[in-house]
Amino acid sequence: MTNWRAVGIGFVVMVIAGVLATGAPIVGHIGAGIIGGLAAGYVAGGSLTSGAWHGLLAGSIAGVVLTIIFAIVVGVFGLFAGPLGGALGFGGVLVGGLVVTFIFAVDSALAGALGAVFA
């Protein structure tokens, strides 16, 4: 059974850490995924699989939300270069966001399992 409170806490921690980590693009976002996954796994408790599941959900949701937000912002700014600029900006960030979502999901699932151990 999914503990949505744990997923929500992990999501909020991840989004805040992800926004703050924009200055250190690679290490910062991986660290945000780890911190949020630990939080989700710790709050969920239970077994390793439970912690990993909650960390995975929190990481996936945070990655998708951040991707959509950044894609919309870049698409709007790209419109200053014309409709093609907006479409390419939006699409480019959307594809790059899939990579970030995958990174968030994998490392937060591993961190969620570790967080369940600490709980």
The closest of 93, 91, 29 to 62, measured between CA atoms, is 29
Residue showing tokens 């996954």: 37
Do the beta carbons of residue 49 and residue 2 sit within 8 Å?
no
Domain count for the chain, please give it.
Answer: 1
Going residue by residue through the chain, which has 119 residues, state the pLDDT in tens, using 9 for 90 and above.
899 999 999 999 988 887 787 777 767 778 888 999 999 999 998 899 999 999 999 999 988 888 898 899 999 999 998 899 899 999 999 999 888 788 778 889 999 999 999 98
Do the beta carbons of residue 43 and residue 3 sit within 8 Å?
yes
Structural domain including 47 reads 4-118
Report pLDDT for 26.
Answer: 67
Do the beta carbons of residue 77 and residue 93 sit within 8 Å?
no
- Look up residue 60 and give its two tokens: 């996936």
Q: How far apart are CA 76 and CA 86, in angstroms?
A: 6
